[in-house]
Chain A
Amino acid sequence: MDDALVIAGQIIRSRFLLGTGKFASYEIMRDAIIVSGAHIVTVALRRVDKGGRAENILDFVPKDCIVMANTSGARTADEAVRIARIAKAAGCGNWIKIEVINDNKFLLPDNQETIKATEILVKEGFMVMPYVSPNLQDAKRLKSAGAASIMPLGAPIGTNKGLTTRELVRILVEEIDLPIIVDAGLGQPSHAAEAMEMGCAAVLVNTAVATAQNPVIAAEAFGLAARAGRLAYLSAPREKSNQADASSPLTGFLR
């Protein structure tokens, strides 16, 4: 079955995306990327030390991966735009995950500022993947602005609580004709599988892999879970209305 994930016209080999923060070493991070099969990895520009004297994170990302810089640290649309431009100049390519967070207590994204930054960066030729709280109207605005995908959170960053926003994400999957990639909050491979089973295009995980006792095994488990969830979705396409379909028709007596 032809089941390629296509984002902005590019075929993506894996529906599992990996974040690169929080790892105990760049070597462990690299091994985790490889065994997970991730094709897209996110890297915070704030950690990139190109030309510096210390190790550069980008040197540990396998060459066949797409590096998607994120705008971690941006508090406003303006800061996100500036970070994206610096990332591009630093050789991170033009894939950008927009993260605008001005709430350090819960690390929840600011959707309005994210939409503003998306509008600007799409016009500048970036492949924009906005990280947002799941909200249908905002997702529609992001699609109109030219976002390449929508990345709703499953739960606040780093909480490992799973797909707590399930119903809101489900609405995005049904209503928005863009890849929906659950980002943040997935703490177990089963959470990743759950998101994929309901039709999400991909999942992005960082904390749960990087802080596991064995991050490399955890990365493989998440990669497999995303694949398993996808296969489960393909095996039984559901009614988009989400309503039950009784095996014996309730109105069969009318025939």
Chain B
Amino acid sequence: MSDSFYVVYEQYSKYDLAAFFQKVADRDVFGACSKENLTAEDLLTLLSPQAQLQLEPMAKRASALTIQYFGRVIFLYAPLYLSNLCDNECVYCGFKKSNNIERKQLSLAEVEEEAKAIAATGIKHILILTGESKIHTPLSYLKDSVSLLKNYFSSISLEIYPLEKNEYRELVDLGVDGLTIYQETYDEKLYQELHRGGAKSNFLYRLDTPERACRAKMRSVGVGALLGLAPFRREVFLTGLHARYLQDKYPDVEISVSLPRIQPQVSNFSPAHRLSDTDLVQALLALRLFLPRVGINLSTRENSHLRDNLIGLGVTRMSAGSKTFVGGYASKEVGECQFAVSDQRSAAEIKIAIRQKGCQPVMKDWQLI
């Protein structure tokens, strides 16, 4: 097997999707829907415009697979923003360097205040986030924060700037068990345009980041594209292939995918390829059918109505009661958000909504060992 997903990426990134989609017939969609082991072509078939007319049979199958492999449960977590200091210029992000916002990094005492506020809601899984500033938010700061957070949470995941394998290993040894790292876009040319300068400009380094975490024995690793930057069908297709590549190569790691849709931020970025709710549902169903045992994450970027209705269709993990600004849980002041939270319900309200959908909200699904 190759040393980088880039080899697979090169094989498919230039694939003529339009020509492929032209040949897709309903029977192909039904065929892909009923297979046990789907190929890359099956995934593309399920992502085709033709398949968007057959969402109901796809949903039935996706729902059955999700219940079979994950049960009638939804795992909950909360994001904790440690810092919004950032050296990058990602045009779509509220935290980009040139954005004139109040910059803040939590002191360890403040991290503890946030931890107490989140833990009071019963949440046991925390996702810590930072901007990308290795000078202001060095590994030592992350390690100190993790050591402190271990006193409050049973699972600690990262959504931070890419690290080297040995750096991930240090955090794993300390008790970190998960990493989320979005490629943002799998369109290499567009990626270069959106990430000019700064550490993030290296497409390949970011593409290989999940793999470095897998090698560092991270327990779970999540990938995804920021949907809306490029046409979604190719992005979701490559997300699925990336997840399968990692799952095949690192079977001891739990691979998951996310489907973050761009929401309006401080930067007022308007995505060129906005997804409809139908597009998002198709992406979700196609990924569930392609990767039956892979966790699928849905954040509070999406509104409560949509989130509630996606329970049981493939989503397995949701954030709850999220604050997407630094100091959001303990402070009474509102800071600058990385993205706007659409689902503003508290963790308690989300738990009730999940129960009403016939599922159990699970607050604890890992144990620091």
Chain A residues engaging chain B, CB cutoff 8 angstroms: 21-26, 45-49, 52-54, 73, 75, 79, 82-83, 86, 102-105, 107, 158-160, 207, 210-211
Contact = CB atoms under 8 A, between A and B. Distances in A.
B167 interface: no
B89 to A, nearest CB: 36
A140 B251 CA distance: 27
Given A103-B252, A104-B247, A107-B293, A45 B367 contact: yes
A105 B252 CA distance: 9
A102 B250 CA distance: 9
B72 interface: yes
Interface of B: 67-73, 119-122, 124, 154, 219, 247-248, 251-255, 293, 355, 358-360, 362-367, 369
Given A23-B71, A75-B252, A211-B68, A46 B367 contact: yes
A54 B122 contact: yes
A173 to B, nearest CB: 28
Given A104-B247, A158-B68, A54 B364 contact: yes
Which of A23, A24, A48, A79 has its CB near the most chain B CB atoms (within 10 A)?
Answer: A24
A207 B363 CA distance: 20
B120 A53 contact: yes
Given A22-B67, A102-B252, 5 more contacts: A21-B73, A26-B360, A48-B364, A48-B367, A210-B72
Majority secondary structure of chain B interface residues (helix, strand, loop or mixed): loop
Contact of B254 (A21, A86, A104, A158): A104
Contacts of A46: 364-367
Contact of B365 (A47, A53, A79, A158): A47
B247 A22 contact: no
Contacts, number: 84
A75 B253 CA distance: 9
Minimum-distance CB pairs A-B, first 3? A22-B71, A24-B72, A102-B252
A126 B369 CA distance: 18
A23 B69 CA distance: 12
B122 A53 contact: yes
A62 to B, nearest CB: 19
A24 B359 contact: yes
B293 A24 contact: no
A134 to B, nearest CB: 20
Contacts of B122: 52-54
A104 B365 contact: no
Contacts of B293: 104-105, 107
A210 B69 CA distance: 11
Contacts of A52: 122, 124, 363-364
A61 to B, nearest CB: 15
Contacts of A86: 367, 369
Contacts of A211: 67-68, 71-72
B358 to A, nearest CB: 5
Contacts of A75: 219, 252
Nearest to A45: B367
B338 to A, nearest CB: 27
Nearest to A87: B367
